[in-house]
Amino acid sequence: MLGLVIAAVLALLAVGWIARSAPVGDGPVVPAGAIADAPPQLTVVGTDPPGGVVEGVGDPAPDLILELFDGSIFSLAGHLIDDGRPVVMNFWASWCVPCREEMPAIDAVAGRRSDVFFLGVAVLDDEEAARSFTEEIGVSFPLGFDAGGDIALAYPSLGLPTTWFITAHGTIAHRWIGQLSQEQLEELIDAHLTG
């Protein structure tokens, strides 16, 4: 009987540790499997992204190369060497309602925070729809489209939007799943990247 009690306590502790190690925001989330309005032509194109896969906080952030909507190329490794600012990387889609509601908040914070680099990555989306949405609302920070799906595979999530916080040293500081307000985003930046 004592062995059963010990096993139950250990199981509860493990569940609590797993829940704490993968923070989820209190804002709306579109679960990864619920893609009602996603374009029908989307398919998973690979399972082994070239830069590796994030496993947890403190891990090295997998390198990524992303063609931005303005035609330039963003490299995470290049950014960390040349620019040196920590990165807030937001995964979103034009069909995701919480993503659409969150984008102006991220853009507002990006306009105030020159100490952090902001990057938006459109995933599970149609590139033209993603471009149209960001032009419609006037997003000012760099955005790109994960055409091959490798970036989304390297930075896994349970739903959209998901925001990754990467230190200036290239390690994962935090992951937030769900919609962020301006205040929440500022607090997370201060707590995990600049504080």
For position 19, what pLDDT does the model report?
A: 34
d(CA 169, CA 77): 10
d(CA 58, CA 35): 30
What is the greatest pairwise CA distance in the chain? Answer: 65
Helix or strand holding residue 91 (H, E): strand 87-92
User: Residue 87, Cβ neighbours under 10 Å: how many?
Assistant: 22
For position 25, what pLDDT does the model report?
A: 54
d(CA 105, CA 139): 10
Q: Say which CATH class 26-194 falls into.
A: alpha beta
Digit-coded pLDDT (tens) for 148-186: 899 999 999 889 999 999 999 999 999 999 999 999 999
Each domain of the chain, given as residue ranges in start order, spans 26-194
Q: What is the mean pLDDT, run by run of 10 residues, along the chain of 195 residues?
A: 38 34 51 45 38 82 96 97 98 97 98 98 96 96 95 92 97 96 98 92
Whole-number mean pLDDT of the chain? 81
Which of 191, 33, 159 has the alpha carbon at shortest distance from 93?
A: 159
User: Could you please report the per-residue DSSP string of 112-170?
Assistant: H-TTSEEEEEE-SS-HHHHHHHHHHHT--S-EEE-SSSHHHHHS--SEESEEEEE-TTS
For position 111, what pLDDT does the model report?
A: 98
For position 31, what pLDDT does the model report?
A: 55
Q: Which two tokens stand for residue 45?
A: 């194109």
Q: Which pTM was predicted?
A: 0.77
d(CA 188, CA 97): 22
- The burial class, CB within 10 Å (0-12 / 13-18 / 19+), for 180 is buried
Residue type, 40: P
For position 55, what pLDDT does the model report?
A: 76
